[in-house]
Amino acid sequence: MAKVSIAMLEKAAQVPSPEGTGDVESYALFDGPNQPIHLIVHRLRPGSSFKLVGENSDLALFVWKGSIEVGGATLTAKSSAIVEHGASLRVRAGEAGTDLLAFGVSKMDEQAPRGRHVHILPSERVPRTESLGGSDGVGGALHADARCPTCNVWLHENSYVMADKETAVHSHSEDEVIFVHSGSVRLGNRVYGPGTALAVAANTKYGFFRAGRSWVRQFPGLFSDLHIR
């Protein structure tokens, strides 16, 4: 995988959708064998449904637009769910349909746990702050931090209230995928809007983008060196 790869939903290839009912379209932003983290965007029309299975790895789901019904609960935008390896989840789109992000790893660690559980986190229950690390105008929401004993998902949402807020140069010990769900990011002289995904290889130093609003990002693995201050 290149140190930094960019994919846009408008140019993404359509891939087969999970078995279900109704009108469902699925698009792969990252799904190649050399891409450690895969990202599929599922677009479900109102009332459509399908079953997602943690077949090869844990799945991290993020409701980008609209809402879904799962297990008798309604998850609105910015809600999330974790489908552990070996588990499955029946998803039904709400009255307005939904755009659902599904993150997974291309190759599961053989030593990783197989929990066969499903974790559902409505948006209103997600821990949020408007001053991440003491920085005014930089917000954060922690959906999953890999501390669960039966899954290895890390899912984090960032928001930048002030436009052209520059991130400090940093790196992570694991691969990551960043998805712009609103606003925009600036990479060099080019601006990328919603539906753009960035894959950043482990130990790659970056601080090259400025955010207009928000993104959500996902890492696999347990992070002993990554924390929210």
Reported as a single tens digit per residue, the pLDDT across 97-130 is: 999 999 998 776 666 666 789 999 999 999 888 7
**Nearest Cα to Cα of residue 53 among 108, 111, 102:** 102
Query: Distance between CA 189 and CA 108 in Å, rounded?
Result: 37
Total Cβ atoms within 10 A of residue 152: 26
98 SS3 class: strand
Residues making up the chain, counted from first to last:
229
| pLDDT for res 206 | 73
- Tokens standing for 34? 């050399």
pLDDT digits (tens, 9 = 90+) for 59-79: 999 999 999 999 889 999 999
Among residues of the chain, what percentage have pLDDT more than 90? 44
> By 3-state DSSP, what share of the chain in percent is helix, strand and coil, each rounded to 5?
5, 55, 45
- If DSSP states are collapsed to H, E and C, what string results for 47-63? CCEEEEECCCCCEEEEE
Residue with tokens 């399908």: 50
10 SS3 class: helix
- Mean pLDDT score, 198-202: 87
Cβ atoms of residues 36 and 1 within 8 Å: yes
Domains defined along the chain, listed by start:
11-125 (2.60.120.10), 128-220 (2.60.120.10)
pLDDT band, very low/low/confident/very high, at 44 (cuts 50, 70, 90): very high
**Nearest Cα to Cα of residue 46 among 62, 65, 26:** 65
pLDDT digits (tens, 9 = 90+) for 22-32: 999 999 999 98
